[in-house]
Amino acid sequence: MNIDSIQNGIVIDHITAGRGMELYDLLNLGSLDVSIAIIKNVSSRKMGKKDIIKIDADIPVDLDVIGYVEACHSLRDL
């Protein structure tokens, strides 16, 4: 499977497998008119499996919501 890389946006990585949609809903990402990829159950050496969310826009993200849902995440601003 190939997911295009993003040039200017945000990647939320290291989400516990199965929690990506919950985070998507809580961040209200469905209301945005931008490309968003939710990748579920990605193989991970550290976590076994994980979810990833890629947002192809540089938008403000509520870090409190991310921390509430997922304490062990990575957020990259590209």
2-29 pLDDT, tens digit each: 777 888 899 998 899 999 999 999 999 9
All domains in the chain, ordered by first residue: 10-77 (3.30.70.140)
77's CB contacts (< 8 A; 6+ apart) are: 9, 10, 58
Within 3-70, where are the H helices? 20-26, 63-69
User: What is the pTM for the complete model shown?
Assistant: 0.84
pLDDT of 28-74, one tens digit each?
999 999 999 999 999 989 889 999 999 999 888 888 888 877 666 56
